[in-house]
Amino acid sequence: MKRKIDINKILIPIDFSETSKMALEHAVNLCGKFQAELYLLHVFTPLSADVFPMMDAAAQYSEVKEAAKEQLDKIASDFNERMGVTVNIEIRDGSPSKEIVTAAKELDVDMIVMGTHGVSGLEEFFLGSNAYRVVTSSSVPVFTIQKHADKFGYQNIALPLDSTSHTRDKVSEAAYFAKHYGATIHIAALITEEHEEEKARFNLKVKQVEEYLENEGISYLTSTKHGDNIAKMTMEHAKENDADLIFIMTEQEASTGLFVGPYAQQVVNHSQIPVVSVTPLEVVSSFGQDQLGGDYRPFYI
């Protein structure tokens, strides 16, 4: 709970899809609230040409890249004029997830905001989406949005707490958002059968979070949920409380900084409500950005 957070720079990767455009609207809203600069990033790949159907199929690499830059300039100008947001443009070549993480480090941003199409089946098992590869390797919070998340402003924030050692590391970030948006935090104390015997110690964790929020002057409500799938319980809790935003931990394995828990994976991939994924403090302090690395491939694929 003692992580210092101050959002002054936000990075948003954009591939010109409808999902990334929706994420851009959320990012601009955040920039207006936090008085932050926006860094607009397009990672250029051979597929970039597919988003400019007006161009001839034989168009040169440089022509397609210039078309991308023109689109980014137009977006930047529009948001600067309409919202007064300072927008900077970055175009890079390479693996999207790796370049997003690298840009975040080099630009010293405080948050990444990006769209996710959600994945399932084998693709989910192998962490196939660019968004989730970024979530697994970023040392700054990653705000992910699916394309139907068209509700802006965050009045109800879902804050699930479980038995893991790092569960409270995200509380400072949630409190930061709650203060800026005047939101109520809805604490969900998630208890599974295997951790029933630890209930007394777990209740102490919840009480500490409540005291922290009281000291910060933040409104909160607490409820307890029992079940066997904390991802499902988290999303149910968020829906029941009409949450606009969910804060979760990535729950990376602290000894390696590489493996992400299935709980975080399921929430990011399936939640229709925007999700902020926070890396545990121990992982951030123990590993450099290049060690986490956006090009990491689990299971050696």
Q: What is the pLDDT of residues 183-211, one digit of tens each?
A: 999 999 998 876 666 777 888 889 999 99
Beta strands in the chain (DSSP E): 9-13, 37-44, 87-93, 111-115, 142-145, 156-161, 184-192, 220-227, 245-249, 275-278
**Which superfamily does CATH assign the domain made up of 9-145 to?**
HUPs (3.40.50.620)
* Maximum average pLDDT range among 17-31, 192-206, 215-229, 250-264: 215-229
- Residues 277 and 267: their CA atoms lie apart, in Å, by 10
Per-residue pLDDT tens for 105-139?
999 999 999 988 654 444 444 434 677 788 888 88
Burial annotation 112-147 (CB, 10 A radius, 16+ → b, else e): bbbbbebbeeeebeebbbbbbbbbbbbbbbbbbbbb
DSSP 49: G
Q: Whole-model pTM?
A: 0.84
Residue 4 sits at φ, ψ, to 5 deg, of -85, 130
Q: How far apart are CA 90 and CA 103, in angstroms?
A: 9
- What kind of fold does domain 156-300 have according to CATH? Rossmann fold (3.40.50)
19-40 pLDDT tens trace: 888 888 899 889 989 999 999 9
Q: Tell me the pLDDT tens digit for each residue of 38-96.
A: 999 998 876 555 555 555 545 566 777 788 888 889 888 888 887 788 889 999 988 88
Q: Which two tokens stand for residue 55?
A: 């161009």
pLDDT reported for residue 298: 34
pLDDT-derived band at 256, boundaries 50, 70, 90: very low
Where are the chain's structural domains?
A: 9-145, 156-300
Same fold, 9-145 and 156-300: yes
